[in-house]
A and B are shown apart, each in its own frame.
Chain A
Amino acid sequence: MMNKEGNSYTLVYASIVVILVAVALAFVSQTLRPQQAKNEAIDKMQQILGSLHVTTTGANAEMEYKKLITDSYVVNVKGEKIEGDAFVTEPAEELNKPESERKYPVYEAMIDGKKKYILSMRGTGLWGPIWGFMALNDDKNTVYGASFGHAGETPGLGAEIDKPAFGKEFIGKKFFNHEGQFVSIAIVKPGKIAQGKDYVDGISGGTITSQGVDAMLSNSIGAYHEFLKK
């Protein structure tokens, strides 16, 4: 047997271990991928439904989604419908493309006989990406509901944005001012106000995340503003 403490033994040993581990992990990842993708899709449906104040469990999300979401399509920055599947369009990937080629997903829902438009948002928080879905009334201006998600904001502080309580603050706020200009909705420190536009309170102790949401609203919803004007 080779000298167990020798350099060549150590190197060969380490290489074999690493190769075996790589094969095992690749196999596990490939085998479980379809099931994981399904879970991620259901999670996304739950978030979309969350912006309509519909809470679902993993089991009934797909059914509710099919019932409530009547149409979905993608638009370009000029607000024209273009080819594409809204559900598989990832706002994060779209941001890497030139603006004229970006696709923006739109979902339509029917609630009590009234049409709602759900727009997709993507931005950055303190530690990583944040995202959300904004449901607007048929005037394409007034917020019906909103849901937010995050990858790893601080629990208890920035992470509070994914709670329904934060999304509820947006109800009834408007993205356009009286002159019909897009002004977004501001996130302000609790107690402060924003001039010339609607605003909601940010999260105490989650300042950077709140600023991230503020920027996300004006960037992501702003990208839809031609679509919203139509």
Chain B
Amino acid sequence: MGLSEKNKLILLGPLGKDNPITVQMLGICSALAVTSKLEPSIVMALSVTVVTAFSNLVISLLRNTIPSRIRIIVQLVVVATLVTIVNEILKAFAYDVSKQLSVFIGLIITNCIVMGRLEAFALGNKPWPSFLDGAGNGLGYGIILIIVGFFRELFGSGTLLGFQVIPQSFYDMGYSNNGLMILPPMALIVVACIIWVQRAKDKDLQEK
């Protein structure tokens, strides 16, 4: 599948320079809530990617027909429908994870990234670039969630995806899990560290 230069930028930009979490500071709330373990982080990342990509696609297809007075309502209806479908699918095929994520799946509806991309991109662009933009932003959000989830589960519980990775001999030598890692404040600190690393490497992002 060949992507034009422009489309490549639309898809990959949000993974780096335009990252919704670390650069635009959107979607922080759910990044705190679901990242204490890696598995819900991955599921949340996928769910948000599906929702942003397809809501962007649908809104872009409808963009010339939507009456501007009710455009936010139409956007909300589309997003809410997609989120409900995702929620139903999780309940059917990933019940444990859906129980863990509980309200946060429903709250994707209010995730600023989704509405932000609809307003900023999908209303003014063709369906294919809109779909890529949605997917890119979902993935940009997701990658941060997965990084945060990785560190929090590793240091907070000593496991990854539920498997013990820190060997028992470490515990015998006096190592212990850091309970703070599984509390929400640590997610902010990990996000802050990612922002730090990113801005140290990319001088353009530093505020003057």
Residues of chain A having any CB pair with chain B under 8 Å: 4-5, 9-10, 13-14, 17-18, 21, 24-25, 28-29, 32, 35-36, 39-40, 42-43, 58, 152
Q: How many A-B residue pairs have CB under 8 A?
A: 55
User: Is A5 a contact partner of B89 (Cβ separation < 8 A)?
Assistant: no
User: Is B103 a contact partner of A25 (Cβ separation < 8 A)?
Assistant: no
Residues of chain B having any CB pair with chain A under 8 Å: 65-70, 73-74, 77-78, 81, 84-85, 88-89, 91-93, 95-96, 99, 102-103
With a CB–CB cut-off of 8 A, which chain A residues contact B78?
Answer: 21
Q: A10-B70, A28-B85, A32-B88 are in contact. Are A18 and B77 (CB under 8 A)?
A: yes
User: Is B70 a contact partner of A13 (Cβ separation < 8 A)?
Assistant: yes
How far, in Å, is A192 (CB) from chain B's closest CB?
A: 27
User: Is B77 a contact partner of A21 (Cβ separation < 8 A)?
Assistant: yes
User: Is B84 a contact partner of A152 (Cβ separation < 8 A)?
Assistant: no
Chain A, residue nearest B95 (CB):
A39
With a CB–CB cut-off of 8 A, which chain B residues contact A36?
Answer: 88, 91-92, 95
Known pairs A14-B73, A17-B74 / 17 extra A-B pairs, C-beta < 8 Å: A10-B67, A10-B69, A13-B65, A13-B70, A14-B70, A18-B77, A21-B81, A28-B84, A32-B91, A32-B92, A35-B93, A39-B92, A42-B95, A43-B99, A58-B95, A58-B96, A152-B102
Chain A, residue nearest B93 (CB):
A35
Q: A18-B77, A25-B85, A32-B89 are in contact. Are A13 and B67 (CB under 8 A)?
A: yes
With a CB–CB cut-off of 8 A, which chain A residues contact B91?
Answer: 32, 36, 39
User: Is B81 a contact partner of A24 (Cβ separation < 8 A)?
Assistant: yes
With a CB–CB cut-off of 8 A, which chain A residues contact B103?
Answer: 152
With a CB–CB cut-off of 8 A, which chain B residues contact A42?
Answer: 95
With a CB–CB cut-off of 8 A, which chain A residues contact B66?
Answer: 13
Chain B, residue nearest A46 (CB):
B96
Q: Please name 27 pairs of A and B residues whose Cβ atoms are closer than 8 Å in the assembled complex, sorted by A.
A: A4-B65, A4-B68, A5-B67, A13-B65, A13-B66, A14-B70, A14-B73, A18-B77, A21-B77, A21-B78, A24-B81, A28-B84, A28-B85, A28-B89, A32-B88, A32-B89, A32-B92, A35-B93, A36-B91, A36-B95, A39-B91, A39-B92, A40-B95, A43-B95, A58-B96, A152-B102, A152-B103
With a CB–CB cut-off of 8 A, which chain A residues contact B77?
Answer: 17-18, 21
Chain B, residue nearest A34 (CB):
B92
